[in-house]
Amino acid sequence: MSNPYFSFFSRNEVEIRKWAIYLGIFVTIAGLAFMAYLGFYNRYWSDDWCYNVDFKNLGIGGTVNTYFMTGDQALRGYAPNRYSLTLLSGLLFSTGIFGAQITATLVIICWIVSLLWVLHNLSKIYSISSRHIVVLCAAILIYYTLYLSPQRFQVLYWMAGIHYSFSIIMGLFLFGLITYQIARDTRSQIAEYFTLPLAFLAGGLSETGCAYLLSTVVLALPVAWYLKQKKNAWAVRVFPTLIISFLGLIGSLVVLSLSPSNTARVEILSNVPTTFLLTLILSFRFALGFIVDSMRSMPLPHIVFALAFLSLAVLVPPTREQRPGLIWKTALAILIVMLVVWLLISAVQAPSAYFYGTPPDPRVKSLARFTMLAGLAVIAWIAGQWINAKWKSSLLIVIALFSITLSMIYTARTTTRLYAELPGFVNRASLWDQRDTEIRNAVQKGIIQLEVVVIDMKGVGTKDIMSSSQMNGEWVSTCASRYYGLEAIKAIAP
């Protein structure tokens, strides 16, 4: 006698699958939407003042030219050499405070679009027909990358800090061009025309982002070259695009390295650089430490994340028939993914290991977090596809759907922690608006030196107008006073 529950499932399997995926999309998109909503309580902080002074007085083109400033000309004692961040910040500044408010929304939308393009290309390559699963995969990866980010405020809300997020975003657009070549039947020259400027702009966001993207291309080049020698059709199409990406990233690295401001930056920010061999050793060690610490300190979200991708893979029909010995190929594929992830996370550690001999700041580790989660997603997907090919049964599908539901319940629960951040965002925005009005009123009265109340930003790990023992005692205060047209500002405790 058949089980009535399984009979019901068999009759309604398609609908149950569809609504389970819809539930997942709704939960993760809702979480991302709430993150974006918090951004509407964002304002100017830290480096934003210095960028905005230059944009206000020099325009976007003149601000890019500050790349060549040194000494007293540079507001912070050195000029920023991240030319792509300058362009991006200039576009946001042109809209006023609204630019700060939409920063998080812009980051999330661009991230979703770029990742969806990559996954769309990969789904064509690997014959994955379910668009809803592709959307859910993208949403889960972005949500957990931001939720588990070591410094979410700086990489999502702070205008001068989003270059780390945009390093990933522009890298994904670059990877989209590469996978687009693979997915096509013929080579696209139009894609190649876009590759060089995109790679150059992507590398110009930061030294760490450039090293990360360059390492990714360097890992892909020998594989494509080898398969090209074997007359592999897709390798022949994609190899020129990889070469162009490599040249664009090398060009950006040269421009970043030759910046006249680097001498001043090294004197102010760093010690004697680490030797090349020790940099490699430290980078590999820091990367391994980051992976181990992530799994040890946050095991549950990583398990839930991996379970979601494994379950989604089970719901997708296998792309090939099960063959003897496939378990070894699967294990080898997983080991290769683990090695690539370790190498790329090591690339994220390298600049900080070279200059300081220490792991990078938390905001820089967001690149490592995305890489680790993307690698974990691929590993879980490979395992899920193998399980699906090995044990095809209705019970397996039921378990996968139940696991997806549990994962989404946990994901929905994490949004309560995001909600707990709302009062802080609202309070900081209210205090900032009040102070901004007071400063502008003082300027209208002809006051040239002013004391203002510093806003507590310790909870999110970035700076306000810094308190000091004298007027313009901090570079942030100097930039803020020039932005408002004052001679000096002194920030005091409330």
Write out pLDDT tens, residues 29-69: 999 999 999 999 999 998 888 888 878 777 777 776 666 66
Contact 328, 336 (CB under 8 A): no
Contact 181, 241 (CB under 8 A): yes
Among 37, 53, 176, 153, which Cα is nearest to 105's? 37
Q: How far apart are CA 293 and CA 286, in angstroms?
A: 10
| DSSP states of 393-425 | -HHHHHHHHHHHHHHHHHHHHHHHHHHTTHHHH
Q: Is a pLDDT exceeding 90 seen at residue 353? A: no
User: Which is more confidently placed, 482 or 115?
Assistant: 115
Question: Quick one: pLDDT at residue 351?
Answer: 87
On the 0-12 / 13-18 / 19+ scale of CB atoms within 10 A, 413 is: exposed
Beta bridge partners of 452: 491
Write out pLDDT tens, residues 234-292: 999 999 999 999 999 999 998 888 776 665 555 555 456 678 899 899 999 999 999 99
Mean pLDDT, residues 339-362 taken together: 90
305 to each of 188, 301, 312, 380, 410, how far by Cα in Å? 35, 6, 11, 9, 10
Q: How far apart are CA 168 and CA 390, in angstroms?
A: 35
Q: How far apart are CA 39 and CA 103, in angstroms?
A: 7
Contact 195, 137 (CB under 8 A): no
Mean pLDDT, residues 329-339 taken together: 92
On the 0-12 / 13-18 / 19+ scale of CB atoms within 10 A, 70 is: middle
474 to each of 39, 77, 83, 95, 479, how far by Cα in Å? 26, 11, 24, 27, 9
Among 216, 31, 28, 235, which Cα is nearest to 134's? 28
CA-based diameter of the chain, in Å?
A: 90
pTM here is: 0.91
Mean pLDDT, residues 284-305 taken together: 95
Q: How far apart are CA 336 and CA 338, in angstroms?
A: 5
For residue 449, the Cα-to-chain-centroid distance in whole angstroms is 40
Phi, psi of 466, deg, nearest 5: -70, 140
**Considering the chain, what percentage of its residues have pLDDT values greater than 70?**
89
Question: Quick one: pLDDT at residue 318?
Answer: 56
The structure tokens listed for 347 are: 């690339």
Q: Is a pLDDT exceeding 90 seen at residue 73? A: no
214: three-class secondary structure by DSSP: helix
Q: How far apart are CA 232 and CA 238, in angstroms?
A: 10
Question: Quick one: pLDDT at residue 393?
Answer: 75
